[in-house]
Amino acid sequence: MNIVVCVKQIPDPATPGALDETTHALKRDGKLILDESDGYGVEMALQLVTTAGEGEVSLVSMAPNGEVSGLRTALAMGAAKGILVSDPTLAGSDALTTARILAAAITKLGKVDLVIAGTESSDGYTGTMPEQLAEILGLASITFAKKVKIEGGIVKVNRQSENGYDEVECPTPALITVTAGVVEPRYPSFKGIMAAKSKPIETVTAGDLGITPVGWAGSDQKIVKVVKAEARQAGQIIEDDGESHGKIVAFLENLKVI
């Protein structure tokens, strides 16, 4: 069972986001970390490989600045190796270009049974890259998985729906996207962190993969304006004195809700 997980390295969500003043793109120049939404995919992949009793977990990632710290986190969790596609021209790439790049990187890895990605990244959240990747690779896909197992070469997924979930199946090879909470990601052990330092990360450029144009030049979209949204005014904020529930009742009465 060979599984590839797409991982994104993003600015720490705890720090406020900012836009570059000329390109209007999200600033990604600080330290990058493994997107929390991808931790679930890495954990899922490790569990599926353990259940299968053979195979390994590989990672693919794309970043303009050679960043590997997020990849190292996933390697410390137990992934075997990674491919990082990195060069400065990648800045500004849209989801379609990103999918083309990652598809080429995955193809380099040879036979793959399953590709796993998050449903959307926490920083850009376009939310289409995995399904675009599946289309480029010619794979069946099951998105928004909240439970996954593989039995006899069939991927069986509980897929979120608007009012519950569907049981969906397809044969491998396939691509799935996993939701947050699908599994509990493990914390890397000290041994895992040490081992990760010597695990291989191959770094390639978009040109090495034969994908051009990329970045701003390859994206058929352009940010033309960024404006402040009309702010919602804060209202009355009070400390609870043991009687504040009365304020809520009065507020609801005033709105004729009760």
Partner 1 sequence: MTIDNIWVFGQLANGAPTPGTLELLTKARSLASQVSVFLGSEVSSASESLGQYGASKVYATGDLAGKLPGVAVSSAMKDVIDGGDKPSVIFFPQNYDGRDTMARLSVKLGRTVLTNNVDIAESSDGVIATTPIFGGNTLVNTAFTGDGPFLVAFRPKSFVAESVGGAAPQVISAPVGDLGAQGSAKVVASHVEESSGPKLDEANVVVSGGRGLGEAAKYSMIEDLAKLLKGAPGASRAIVDAGWVPYSYQVGQTGKVVKPTVYIAVGISGATQHMVGMKGSKNIIAINKDKEAPIFGIADLGIIGDVHKVIPKLIDALKSRP
Q: Which of positions 62-81 make contact with partner 1 (CB under 8 A)?
A: none
Cross-strand pairs, 61: 84
Nearer to partner 1 by C-beta: 191 or 225? Answer: 225
**Of 122, 125, 155, nearest to 141 (Cα)?**
155
Give the nearer residue to partner 1 in terms of CB position, either 54 or 224: 224
Could you tell me if residue 15 is left (phi over 0), alpha (psi between -120 and 50 degrees) or otherwise beta? beta
Task: Pick out residues in 90-109 that bind partner 1 (CB under 8 A).
Answer: 94-96, 99
Among 53, 152, 181, 210, binds partner 1 (CB under 8 A): 181
Neighbours of 245 (CB within 10 A): 9
Q: Give me the least distance between CB of 66 and partner 1, in Å please.
A: 26
Nearest distance in Å: CB 90, partner 1 = 15
Residue 16 interacting with partner 1 (CB under 8 A): yes
Cβ within 8 Å of residue 93, ≥6 positions away: 62, 101, 214, 215, 218, 219
Alpha carbon distance 29, 40 (integer Å)? 25
Nearer to partner 1, 190 or 237 (CB): 237
Q: What is the full DSSP assignment across 10-64? A: EE-TTSPP-B-TTT-PBP--S-EEE-HHHHHHHHHHHHHHHHHTS--EEEEEE-T
Cis peptide before 213 (omega within 30 of 0): yes
Q: Candidates 10, 141, 183, 211: give the one binding partner 1 (CB under 8 A).
A: 141
Exposure string of 31-60, with b = 16+ CB inside 10 Å and e = fewer, is ebbbbebbbbbbbbbbbbbeeeeebebbbb
- Least separation in angstroms between CB 169 and partner 1: 6
**Which of 166, 187, 212, 213 touches partner 1 (CB under 8 A)?**
166
If one asks whether residue 126 binds partner 1 (CB under 8 A), the answer comes out as yes
Give the count of residues interacting with partner 1 (CB under 8 A): 78
**Token pair for 67:** 């960043």
Cβ-based nearer residue to partner 1, 53 or 258: 258
Site for partner 1 in 37-66 (CB under 8 A): none
By CB under 8 A, name the one of 146, 186, 201, 202 that touches partner 1: 146
- Residue number, 163 or 198, with CB nearest to partner 1: 163
Q: Which of 17, 88, 153, 213 binds partner 1 (CB under 8 A)?
A: 17
Residues 19-38 that bind partner 1 (CB under 8 A): 19, 24
Q: Spell out, one character per residue from 213 to 252, where the chain touches partner 1: x when CB under 8 A holds, - when not.
A: ------xxxxxxxxxxx-xx-xxxxxxx-x-xxxxxx-xx
| Half-sphere exposure in the Cβ direction for 164 (13 Å, CA) | 3
**CB of 116 vs partner 1, minimal distance in Å:** 15
